[in-house]
A and B are shown apart, each in its own frame.
Chain A
């Protein structure tokens, strides 16, 4: 099996790696690049725990090949805060206790960031349908939805 050489941008940094043709972007991030913030909950695109943004599109990194990242711009949870300044969504997730075990949290934050980028003032229903690709088994989603609403309000005011 011949390795594929990939040159890409992750969280603003230029990154190069060699991966197998069938290796997913999630495997590359976690096992080759040490970016373990994206989680594998299912490996089949059903849970959203591995969500990342590729060229402004929200995707499951388990359903993208590492080879496909060539020339792309990738955003992961590790790039969400600016230095020690948490993103408003991160801050509101903490304040609202929008996480219990926290395994789904990186995926939710990335998906919520994408949602607010496309719809800065979502209704509760739009938030719920916008985040339906991310499974959470701990919270019943209540506090997640409230945290996103609150973050949207903060971001609108900013």
Chain B
């Protein structure tokens, strides 16, 4: 086993592309080290990407925000501009694990771990976030929802690294929100979750919407039909009930140690309603 801390993205990509055995990318390590401890992975090479310039920064650009792959989730919460623009994304990132874990874990790691229950992913999907992928063949920018393809699986090719997440600049009257259901108040994996991102017109009518549901299918669900219900509405009671019904119906959950099919289905709708109302309020709808 080797541990290497490259100084450049080219070196990191080269190391990963050239690795003979299984290789792992280390940013926060909060998933990788747990899997190593449990004997589920035994990488021949660990590539620590934290020394690569720019990967530990959040930068605000003319187009929005660029969040480096090595930025711990705790730092997201400390960035006032990001928190103001994308409160739902930040609150999702800040729900991952404990304070201790948030000091290490990253949203890119959360995305690439490809758990259907990942907290930040529904919020990122709802936000329409994009991932900048560096690899042997150069760089490409893809929608975050195209990264996980199933539990523990991603669309990334050998040697590819997500170097940053991009979030758009916010138009006026826009808001997002995320909630998950957990049995305790902290330290749990989402049993089911929902993220909603809205833009509201001056008249209080929803102009654009994205609705995502987590832990309800092999990957996070982007529920188009739910977004359509919200668009053109003022989130009246009937709309919210329809939203809940559609989100519950979109779920393809499983029974497991964290929850039942019936529970996930029902609560997905409940959370979608609650989250939509918060996003609407944040967008200035109410």
Contacts and interface: CB of A to CB of B under 8 A. Distances in A.
Direct contact of A and B (CB under 8 A): yes
Interface of A: 1-2, 4, 20-22, 24, 43-46, 48, 51, 54, 57-60, 62-65, 67-68, 70, 111, 114-115, 129-130, 132-134
Given A24-B33, A133-B98, A59 B104 contact: yes
Nearest to B186: A132
Max chain B Cβ within 10 angstroms of own Cβ: one of A1, A21, A62, A70: A21
B232 to A, nearest CB: 38
B257 interface: no
Given A21-B46, A45-B30, A60 B101 contact: yes
A67 B51 CA distance: 13
Interface in B1-15: 1-3, 5
B100 interface: yes
A132 B2 contact: no
Given A57-B103, A68-B26, A111-B100, 14 more contacts: A2-B2, A22-B1, A22-B36, A24-B33, A43-B37, A45-B100, A48-B98, A51-B100, A57-B74, A58-B100, A63-B33, A64-B33, A129-B185, A132-B185
Nearest to B26: A65
B187 A65 contact: no
A63 B3 contact: no
Interface in B74-110: 74, 97-101, 103-104
A21 B2 contact: yes
26 contacts: A20-B1, A44-B34, A45-B33, A45-B34, A45-B98, A45-B101, A57-B74, A59-B100, A59-B103, A59-B104, A62-B33, A62-B37, A63-B29, A63-B30, A63-B104, A64-B104, A65-B3, A65-B26, A65-B46, A67-B5, A68-B50, A114-B99, A129-B185, A132-B99, A132-B187, A133-B98
A39 to B, nearest CB: 14
Contacts of A24: 33
A21 B103 CA distance: 21
B3 A133 contact: no
B48 interface: yes
B285 interface: no
A2 B185 CA distance: 42
A144 B46 CA distance: 39
A44 B30 CA distance: 8
Contacts of A111: 99-100
A140 to B, nearest CB: 15
Interface of B: 1-3, 5, 26, 28-30, 33-34, 36-38, 46, 48, 50, 72, 74, 97-101, 103-104, 185-187
Nearest to A52: B100
Contacts of A60: 98, 100-101, 104
Contacts of A2: 2
B214 to A, nearest CB: 20
Contacts of B98: 45, 48, 60, 132-134
Contact of B48 (A22, A51, A57, A68): A68
Contacts of A65: 3, 26, 29, 33, 46, 48
A86 B103 CA distance: 26
A60 B26 CA distance: 16
Contact of A57 (B5, B29, B72): B72
Contacts of A45: 30, 33-34, 97-98, 100-101
Contact of A44 (B28, B37, B46): B37
A114 B74 CA distance: 13
A64 B100 CA distance: 11
Max chain B Cβ within 10 angstroms of own Cβ: one of A24, A60, A64, A129: A60
B33 A21 contact: no
Contacts of B36: 22
Contacts of A59: 100, 103-104
Contacts of A57: 72, 74, 103-104
